[in-house]
Amino acid sequence: MTAVQLSRRGIPSVLIDGSGRMGRGVAYATTESVHLLNVPSAKMSAWPDRPSDFAEWLGDDGTAFAERRVFGRYLESILKGAEGMRLIEGRVIGAERVGESWCLQLEQGEVLTTSAVVLASGNQAPAPLSVANGLPADLFVNNPWSDEAHEAIARVAADGGDVLVLGTGLTTIDTVLSLIAAGHRGRIVALSRRGLLPRTHAPHEPAPVERSELPSGDLVALWRWVRRRSAEVGFRGAVDSLRPHSSALWQAFGAGGERRFLRHARPWWDVHRHRIAPQIGRQLQQLVASGQLTVMAGRLQSLSDDGGELVASIRARGQDRVRDHRFGVAFNCTGPLGEMARTTDPLLRQLLADEQVRPDHLGIGLAVDERNRAGEGIWAVGPLTKGRYWEIVAVPDIRGQVADVADELARELGQ
Protein backbone atom coordinates (compact mmCIF):
# COMPACT_ATOMS: atom_id res chain seq x y z
CA MET A 1 0.00 0.00 0.00
CA THR A 2 2.96 2.31 0.67
CA ALA A 3 4.54 1.43 -2.65
CA VAL A 4 1.40 2.11 -4.69
CA GLN A 5 0.92 5.44 -2.90
CA LEU A 6 4.48 6.35 -3.94
CA SER A 7 3.65 5.26 -7.48
CA ARG A 8 0.67 7.63 -7.46
CA ARG A 9 3.10 10.47 -6.73
CA GLY A 10 5.56 9.46 -9.43
CA ILE A 11 8.16 8.24 -6.95
CA PRO A 12 9.98 5.05 -8.05
CA SER A 13 10.39 2.37 -5.40
CA VAL A 14 11.67 -1.12 -4.77
CA LEU A 15 9.29 -3.45 -2.91
CA ILE A 16 11.18 -6.27 -1.20
CA ASP A 17 9.34 -9.25 0.29
CA GLY A 18 10.86 -12.61 1.11
CA SER A 19 7.71 -14.28 2.42
CA GLY A 20 6.52 -15.62 -0.92
CA ARG A 21 3.32 -13.60 -0.46
CA MET A 22 4.17 -10.52 -2.53
CA GLY A 23 1.29 -8.06 -2.41
CA ARG A 24 -0.90 -10.15 -0.11
CA GLY A 25 0.82 -10.52 3.24
CA VAL A 26 0.11 -13.20 5.82
CA ALA A 27 -3.60 -12.62 6.37
CA TYR A 28 -4.62 -12.41 2.72
CA ALA A 29 -2.34 -15.13 1.38
CA THR A 30 -4.56 -17.84 2.84
CA THR A 31 -5.95 -20.26 0.26
CA GLU A 32 -8.87 -21.33 2.44
CA SER A 33 -12.39 -20.15 1.68
CA VAL A 34 -13.34 -20.39 5.38
CA HIS A 35 -11.06 -17.47 6.29
CA LEU A 36 -13.18 -14.33 5.99
CA LEU A 37 -12.53 -10.64 6.49
CA ASN A 38 -13.47 -9.40 9.94
CA VAL A 39 -15.20 -6.28 8.60
CA PRO A 40 -17.60 -5.74 5.69
CA SER A 41 -16.31 -4.84 2.25
CA ALA A 42 -17.42 -1.20 2.54
CA LYS A 43 -14.57 -0.57 5.01
CA MET A 44 -11.78 -2.40 3.18
CA SER A 45 -10.71 -0.10 0.37
CA ALA A 46 -6.95 0.29 -0.01
CA TRP A 47 -7.45 3.98 -0.85
CA PRO A 48 -8.42 6.58 1.79
CA ASP A 49 -9.89 8.87 -0.89
CA ARG A 50 -11.95 6.07 -2.51
CA PRO A 51 -13.57 4.25 0.44
CA SER A 52 -15.90 2.13 -1.69
CA ASP A 53 -13.19 0.86 -4.05
CA PHE A 54 -13.04 -2.71 -2.74
CA ALA A 55 -16.82 -3.10 -2.60
CA GLU A 56 -17.06 -1.86 -6.19
CA TRP A 57 -14.24 -4.18 -7.29
CA LEU A 58 -16.06 -7.03 -5.56
CA GLY A 59 -19.42 -6.06 -7.05
CA ASP A 60 -20.98 -5.91 -3.60
CA ASP A 61 -23.26 -3.47 -1.80
CA GLY A 62 -20.65 -3.11 0.94
CA THR A 63 -22.15 -5.54 3.44
CA ALA A 64 -20.36 -8.77 2.50
CA PHE A 65 -17.66 -10.35 4.67
CA ALA A 66 -15.55 -11.47 1.74
CA GLU A 67 -13.04 -14.29 1.69
CA ARG A 68 -9.60 -13.04 2.69
CA ARG A 69 -8.00 -14.71 -0.31
CA VAL A 70 -10.29 -12.59 -2.53
CA PHE A 71 -9.06 -9.46 -0.80
CA GLY A 72 -5.55 -10.72 -1.50
CA ARG A 73 -6.37 -10.80 -5.20
CA TYR A 74 -7.70 -7.24 -4.92
CA LEU A 75 -4.37 -6.09 -3.45
CA GLU A 76 -2.46 -7.94 -6.16
CA SER A 77 -4.53 -6.22 -8.85
CA ILE A 78 -3.63 -2.83 -7.37
CA LEU A 79 0.04 -3.77 -7.24
CA LYS A 80 0.05 -4.92 -10.86
CA GLY A 81 -1.49 -1.64 -11.94
CA ALA A 82 1.19 0.49 -10.27
CA GLU A 83 4.04 1.97 -12.30
CA GLY A 84 7.64 2.79 -11.45
CA MET A 85 8.04 -0.11 -9.07
CA ARG A 86 10.51 -2.98 -8.94
CA LEU A 87 9.51 -6.13 -7.08
CA ILE A 88 12.18 -8.29 -5.43
CA GLU A 89 11.46 -11.68 -3.87
CA GLY A 90 13.96 -11.81 -1.03
CA ARG A 91 14.96 -10.36 2.30
CA VAL A 92 17.08 -7.43 3.37
CA ILE A 93 19.64 -8.69 5.87
CA GLY A 94 21.50 -5.45 6.52
CA ALA A 95 21.42 -1.70 5.97
CA GLU A 96 24.08 0.97 6.20
CA ARG A 97 23.62 4.73 6.16
CA VAL A 98 26.08 6.24 3.67
CA GLY A 99 25.84 10.01 3.42
CA GLU A 100 22.25 10.86 2.49
CA SER A 101 21.50 7.36 1.18
CA TRP A 102 20.94 3.81 2.41
CA CYS A 103 22.87 0.77 1.16
CA LEU A 104 20.72 -2.34 1.56
CA GLN A 105 22.24 -5.83 1.57
CA LEU A 106 19.93 -8.52 0.20
CA GLU A 107 20.28 -12.15 1.22
CA GLN A 108 20.97 -13.17 -2.38
CA GLY A 109 23.99 -10.85 -2.48
CA GLU A 110 22.60 -7.82 -4.30
CA VAL A 111 23.25 -4.36 -2.85
CA LEU A 112 20.72 -1.57 -3.40
CA THR A 113 21.20 2.15 -2.86
CA THR A 114 18.05 4.07 -1.94
CA SER A 115 17.17 7.58 -0.82
CA ALA A 116 14.85 6.37 1.94
CA VAL A 117 13.63 3.20 3.63
CA VAL A 118 10.09 2.37 4.74
CA LEU A 119 9.75 -0.54 7.16
CA ALA A 120 6.39 -2.19 6.45
CA SER A 121 6.91 -5.74 7.68
CA GLY A 122 3.62 -6.02 9.56
CA ASN A 123 3.06 -8.44 12.42
CA GLN A 124 5.95 -10.74 13.22
CA ALA A 125 5.75 -14.44 14.05
CA PRO A 126 5.17 -15.25 17.73
CA ALA A 127 8.14 -15.76 20.00
CA PRO A 128 8.79 -19.37 21.06
CA LEU A 129 7.04 -20.34 24.30
CA SER A 130 9.43 -21.51 26.98
CA VAL A 131 6.88 -24.08 28.13
CA ALA A 132 7.36 -25.85 24.78
CA ASN A 133 11.16 -26.05 24.92
CA GLY A 134 12.42 -29.40 23.70
CA LEU A 135 9.14 -30.57 22.20
CA PRO A 136 9.28 -32.09 18.71
CA ALA A 137 7.86 -29.98 15.89
CA ASP A 138 5.11 -32.50 15.17
CA LEU A 139 3.68 -32.00 18.69
CA PHE A 140 3.99 -28.23 19.04
CA VAL A 141 3.56 -25.66 16.25
CA ASN A 142 4.85 -22.25 17.29
CA ASN A 143 3.91 -20.28 14.16
CA PRO A 144 0.27 -20.93 13.17
CA TRP A 145 0.77 -19.14 9.83
CA SER A 146 3.64 -21.38 8.69
CA ASP A 147 3.80 -24.26 6.23
CA GLU A 148 4.47 -26.51 9.25
CA ALA A 149 1.11 -25.47 10.68
CA HIS A 150 -0.69 -26.45 7.47
CA GLU A 151 1.03 -29.84 7.54
CA ALA A 152 0.13 -30.36 11.20
CA ILE A 153 -3.51 -29.53 10.54
CA ALA A 154 -3.69 -32.05 7.70
CA ARG A 155 -1.97 -34.68 9.84
CA VAL A 156 -4.15 -34.33 12.94
CA ALA A 157 -7.30 -34.12 10.80
CA ALA A 158 -6.35 -37.44 9.24
CA ASP A 159 -5.58 -39.25 12.50
CA GLY A 160 -8.39 -37.68 14.53
CA GLY A 161 -6.29 -36.65 17.53
CA ASP A 162 -7.39 -33.99 19.97
CA VAL A 163 -5.94 -30.49 19.52
CA LEU A 164 -4.85 -27.85 22.03
CA VAL A 165 -4.93 -24.26 20.80
CA LEU A 166 -3.21 -21.71 23.02
CA GLY A 167 -5.14 -18.44 22.82
CA THR A 168 -8.76 -17.61 22.08
CA GLY A 169 -8.44 -14.67 19.67
CA LEU A 170 -8.64 -14.26 15.92
CA THR A 171 -5.67 -16.52 15.20
CA THR A 172 -7.30 -19.31 17.19
CA ILE A 173 -10.48 -18.91 15.17
CA ASP A 174 -8.50 -19.21 11.93
CA THR A 175 -6.88 -22.41 13.22
CA VAL A 176 -10.18 -23.91 14.35
CA LEU A 177 -11.79 -23.12 11.00
CA SER A 178 -8.84 -24.67 9.15
CA LEU A 179 -9.10 -27.83 11.26
CA ILE A 180 -12.81 -28.20 10.56
CA ALA A 181 -12.35 -27.49 6.86
CA ALA A 182 -9.67 -30.20 6.74
CA GLY A 183 -12.19 -32.71 8.12
CA HIS A 184 -10.98 -32.83 11.72
CA ARG A 185 -13.42 -34.74 13.95
CA GLY A 186 -11.50 -34.77 17.21
CA ARG A 187 -11.87 -32.49 20.19
CA ILE A 188 -10.42 -28.96 20.13
CA VAL A 189 -9.59 -27.13 23.35
CA ALA A 190 -8.88 -23.38 23.12
CA LEU A 191 -7.12 -22.13 26.26
CA SER A 192 -6.44 -18.58 27.45
CA ARG A 193 -6.26 -16.87 30.82
CA ARG A 194 -9.78 -15.43 30.50
CA GLY A 195 -11.35 -17.70 27.90
CA LEU A 196 -12.70 -14.76 25.86
CA LEU A 197 -13.74 -15.24 22.23
CA PRO A 198 -14.11 -12.30 19.83
CA ARG A 199 -17.63 -10.95 19.66
CA THR A 200 -19.69 -11.19 16.49
CA HIS A 201 -20.70 -8.41 14.13
CA ALA A 202 -24.41 -7.61 14.16
CA PRO A 203 -26.51 -4.79 12.70
CA HIS A 204 -26.47 -1.66 14.86
CA GLU A 205 -27.05 2.02 14.54
CA PRO A 206 -23.94 4.22 14.49
CA ALA A 207 -23.59 6.33 17.62
CA PRO A 208 -20.81 8.85 16.87
CA VAL A 209 -19.38 11.07 19.59
CA GLU A 210 -17.18 14.13 19.58
CA ARG A 211 -13.71 13.95 21.06
CA SER A 212 -14.72 16.54 23.65
CA GLU A 213 -17.42 14.18 24.98
CA LEU A 214 -14.87 11.54 25.98
CA PRO A 215 -12.79 11.29 29.16
CA SER A 216 -9.15 12.02 28.44
CA GLY A 217 -6.07 10.63 30.14
CA ASP A 218 -7.98 8.42 32.57
CA LEU A 219 -8.34 4.72 31.70
CA VAL A 220 -10.85 3.99 34.47
CA ALA A 221 -13.03 6.95 33.50
CA LEU A 222 -13.00 5.85 29.85
CA TRP A 223 -13.83 2.27 30.87
CA ARG A 224 -16.84 3.53 32.82
CA TRP A 225 -17.90 5.71 29.90
CA VAL A 226 -17.82 2.73 27.53
CA ARG A 227 -19.93 0.63 29.92
CA ARG A 228 -22.46 3.41 30.41
CA ARG A 229 -22.60 4.18 26.69
CA SER A 230 -22.94 0.48 25.86
CA ALA A 231 -26.03 0.29 28.05
CA GLU A 232 -27.52 3.13 26.00
CA VAL A 233 -26.58 2.22 22.41
CA GLY A 234 -25.12 -1.31 22.62
CA PHE A 235 -21.45 -2.19 22.87
CA ARG A 236 -20.94 -2.22 19.09
CA GLY A 237 -22.05 1.38 18.68
CA ALA A 238 -20.14 2.48 21.77
CA VAL A 239 -16.87 0.82 20.81
CA ASP A 240 -17.09 1.86 17.15
CA SER A 241 -17.65 5.49 18.18
CA LEU A 242 -14.15 5.51 19.71
CA ARG A 243 -12.41 4.55 16.49
CA PRO A 244 -11.88 8.08 15.09
CA HIS A 245 -10.41 9.10 18.44
CA SER A 246 -8.52 5.94 19.42
CA SER A 247 -4.97 7.20 18.80
CA ALA A 248 -5.60 10.48 20.62
CA LEU A 249 -7.17 8.62 23.55
CA TRP A 250 -4.25 6.18 23.63
CA GLN A 251 -1.63 8.92 23.66
CA ALA A 252 -3.52 10.84 26.36
CA PHE A 253 -3.12 7.88 28.75
CA GLY A 254 0.62 8.47 29.01
CA ALA A 255 3.08 5.61 29.44
CA GLY A 256 1.62 4.56 32.80
CA GLY A 257 -1.94 4.46 31.50
CA GLU A 258 -0.90 2.59 28.36
CA ARG A 259 0.79 -0.09 30.47
CA ARG A 260 -2.34 -0.39 32.65
CA PHE A 261 -4.41 -0.82 29.49
CA LEU A 262 -2.11 -3.59 28.23
CA ARG A 263 -2.18 -5.40 31.58
CA HIS A 264 -5.88 -5.17 32.40
CA ALA A 265 -8.09 -3.86 29.59
CA ARG A 266 -6.54 -5.15 26.39
CA PRO A 267 -8.24 -8.60 26.31
CA TRP A 268 -11.66 -6.99 26.75
CA TRP A 269 -10.97 -4.30 24.19
CA ASP A 270 -9.70 -6.82 21.64
CA VAL A 271 -12.76 -9.08 21.75
CA HIS A 272 -15.21 -6.16 21.50
CA ARG A 273 -13.24 -4.12 18.99
CA HIS A 274 -11.97 -6.84 16.62
CA ARG A 275 -15.16 -8.73 15.86
CA ILE A 276 -15.84 -11.66 13.54
CA ALA A 277 -18.24 -12.22 10.66
CA PRO A 278 -21.75 -13.36 11.66
CA GLN A 279 -21.47 -16.67 9.80
CA ILE A 280 -18.22 -17.45 11.62
CA GLY A 281 -19.84 -16.62 14.94
CA ARG A 282 -22.68 -19.03 14.21
CA GLN A 283 -20.26 -21.80 13.26
CA LEU A 284 -18.32 -21.37 16.49
CA GLN A 285 -21.54 -21.52 18.51
CA GLN A 286 -22.42 -24.81 16.80
CA LEU A 287 -18.98 -26.27 17.50
CA VAL A 288 -19.25 -25.33 21.18
CA ALA A 289 -22.81 -26.67 21.41
CA SER A 290 -21.78 -29.98 19.85
CA GLY A 291 -18.88 -30.35 22.30
CA GLN A 292 -16.22 -30.48 19.62
CA LEU A 293 -14.85 -27.08 20.67
CA THR A 294 -14.20 -26.25 24.33
CA VAL A 295 -13.17 -22.74 25.31
CA MET A 296 -11.31 -22.90 28.62
CA ALA A 297 -10.12 -20.15 30.95
CA GLY A 298 -6.98 -21.18 32.76
CA ARG A 299 -3.20 -21.35 32.79
CA LEU A 300 -0.92 -23.79 31.05
CA GLN A 301 1.57 -25.07 33.61
CA SER A 302 3.63 -27.42 31.46
CA LEU A 303 3.85 -29.41 28.23
CA SER A 304 5.60 -32.74 27.86
CA ASP A 305 6.08 -35.50 25.33
CA ASP A 306 4.79 -38.89 26.53
CA GLY A 307 5.66 -41.42 23.88
CA GLY A 308 4.60 -39.25 20.98
CA GLU A 309 1.56 -37.84 22.75
CA LEU A 310 1.39 -34.31 24.13
CA VAL A 311 0.55 -33.97 27.83
CA ALA A 312 -0.65 -30.50 28.91
CA SER A 313 -0.92 -29.69 32.59
CA ILE A 314 -3.62 -27.03 32.99
CA ARG A 315 -4.99 -25.22 36.00
CA ALA A 316 -8.51 -24.02 35.20
CA ARG A 317 -9.42 -20.51 36.30
CA GLY A 318 -10.75 -20.46 39.85
CA GLN A 319 -9.36 -23.89 40.70
CA ASP A 320 -6.29 -24.95 42.66
CA ARG A 321 -5.92 -28.39 41.16
CA VAL A 322 -3.78 -28.95 38.06
CA ARG A 323 -5.11 -31.56 35.64
CA ASP A 324 -3.32 -33.36 32.82
CA HIS A 325 -4.90 -33.43 29.34
CA ARG A 326 -3.64 -35.40 26.33
CA PHE A 327 -3.50 -34.05 22.78
CA GLY A 328 -2.15 -34.98 19.40
CA VAL A 329 -0.72 -31.51 18.75
CA ALA A 330 -0.75 -27.95 20.13
CA PHE A 331 -0.74 -24.65 18.23
CA ASN A 332 0.61 -21.38 19.61
CA CYS A 333 -2.13 -18.88 18.74
CA THR A 334 -1.28 -16.34 21.43
CA GLY A 335 -0.73 -13.66 18.81
CA PRO A 336 2.18 -12.00 17.01
CA LEU A 337 5.45 -11.01 18.61
CA GLY A 338 4.89 -8.34 21.26
CA GLU A 339 8.49 -7.57 22.26
CA MET A 340 10.62 -5.77 19.71
CA ALA A 341 13.80 -6.81 21.52
CA ARG A 342 13.02 -10.44 20.62
CA THR A 343 12.63 -9.91 16.89
CA THR A 344 14.36 -12.43 14.63
CA ASP A 345 14.13 -10.21 11.55
CA PRO A 346 17.77 -9.66 10.50
CA LEU A 347 17.21 -6.12 9.24
CA LEU A 348 15.38 -4.98 12.37
CA ARG A 349 17.97 -6.62 14.59
CA GLN A 350 20.82 -4.82 12.82
CA LEU A 351 19.04 -1.45 12.80
CA LEU A 352 18.32 -1.79 16.52
CA ALA A 353 21.87 -2.89 17.30
CA ASP A 354 23.30 0.06 15.35
CA GLU A 355 20.80 2.40 17.04
CA GLN A 356 19.48 3.54 13.68
CA VAL A 357 16.04 2.83 15.13
CA ARG A 358 14.93 2.10 18.68
CA PRO A 359 12.04 0.34 20.41
CA ASP A 360 9.09 2.48 21.48
CA HIS A 361 8.56 3.31 25.15
CA LEU A 362 6.52 0.12 25.65
CA GLY A 363 8.89 -2.16 23.74
CA ILE A 364 6.08 -3.43 21.49
CA GLY A 365 7.16 -1.72 18.26
CA LEU A 366 9.47 0.98 16.95
CA ALA A 367 9.60 4.54 18.19
CA VAL A 368 8.32 6.94 15.53
CA ASP A 369 7.58 10.66 15.55
CA GLU A 370 4.35 12.34 14.47
CA ARG A 371 5.42 11.91 10.82
CA ASN A 372 6.10 8.18 11.27
CA ARG A 373 9.85 8.72 10.99
CA ALA A 374 11.79 6.00 12.85
CA GLY A 375 15.28 7.37 12.18
CA GLU A 376 17.37 9.32 9.71
CA GLY A 377 15.91 8.61 6.28
CA ILE A 378 13.80 5.75 7.61
CA TRP A 379 10.05 5.46 8.24
CA ALA A 380 7.84 2.75 9.72
CA VAL A 381 4.18 1.94 9.07
CA GLY A 382 1.56 -0.52 10.27
CA PRO A 383 1.87 -2.71 13.37
CA LEU A 384 5.49 -1.64 13.86
CA THR A 385 4.08 1.71 15.04
CA LYS A 386 1.43 0.42 17.46
CA GLY A 387 3.28 1.81 20.46
CA ARG A 388 2.47 5.31 19.21
CA TYR A 389 -1.00 4.71 17.77
CA TRP A 390 -2.22 1.37 19.18
CA GLU A 391 -5.04 1.08 16.60
CA ILE A 392 -2.84 0.64 13.53
CA VAL A 393 -3.38 -2.97 12.50
CA ALA A 394 -6.48 -2.70 10.29
CA VAL A 395 -6.75 -1.57 6.67
CA PRO A 396 -8.83 1.59 7.40
CA ASP A 397 -6.10 2.79 9.79
CA ILE A 398 -3.08 1.79 7.72
CA ARG A 399 -4.33 3.20 4.40
CA GLY A 400 -4.36 6.72 5.83
CA GLN A 401 -0.98 6.31 7.47
CA VAL A 402 0.78 5.12 4.32
CA ALA A 403 -0.73 7.97 2.29
CA ASP A 404 0.69 10.40 4.85
CA VAL A 405 4.11 8.72 4.64
CA ALA A 406 4.04 8.93 0.83
CA ASP A 407 3.27 12.66 1.11
CA GLU A 408 6.14 13.07 3.56
CA LEU A 409 8.54 11.23 1.26
CA ALA A 410 7.43 13.35 -1.69
CA ARG A 411 8.27 16.50 0.30
CA GLU A 412 11.55 15.00 1.53
CA LEU A 413 12.65 14.05 -1.98
CA GLY A 414 11.40 17.26 -3.55
CA GLN A 415 8.83 15.58 -5.77
* Same domain? 226 vs 173: no
Other CB atoms within 10 A of residue 202 CB? 10
Query: Does residue 397 lie in a domain region?
Result: yes
* Same domain? 23 vs 115: yes
Query: Does residue 8 lie in a domain region?
Result: yes
Query: Does residue 22 lie in a domain region?
Result: yes
Give the CA-trace dihedral at 391, 393, 397, 402, to 10 degrees.
120
Query: Does residue 115 lie in a domain region?
Result: yes
* Same domain? 108 vs 12: yes
Count CA atoms within 13 Å of residue 226 on its CB side.
21
* Same domain? 402 vs 349: yes
Q: What's the pLDDT at 88? A: 96
Q: Which domain holds residue 262?
A: 211-273
CA distance 100 to 116: 9
Nearest of 134, 129, 136 to residue 165 by alpha carbon: 129
* Same domain? 11 vs 98: yes
* Same domain? 302 vs 183: yes
* Same domain? 187 vs 315: yes
In which residue ranges of the chain is pLDDT below 50?
Answer: none
CA distance 75 to 58: 12
Domain count, the chain: 3
Residue pLDDT, tens place only, 139-187: 999 999 999 999 999 999 999 999 999 999 999 999 999 999 999 999 9
* Same domain? 18 vs 119: yes
Q: Where a domain ends, among 312, 332, 352?
A: 332
Q: Where a domain ends, among 309, 332, 355?
A: 332
Q: What's the pLDDT at 315? A: 97
Residue pLDDT, tens place only, 103-123: 999 999 999 999 999 999 999
Q: What's the pLDDT at 414? A: 82
pTM: 0.94
Query: Does residue 204 lie in a domain region?
Result: no
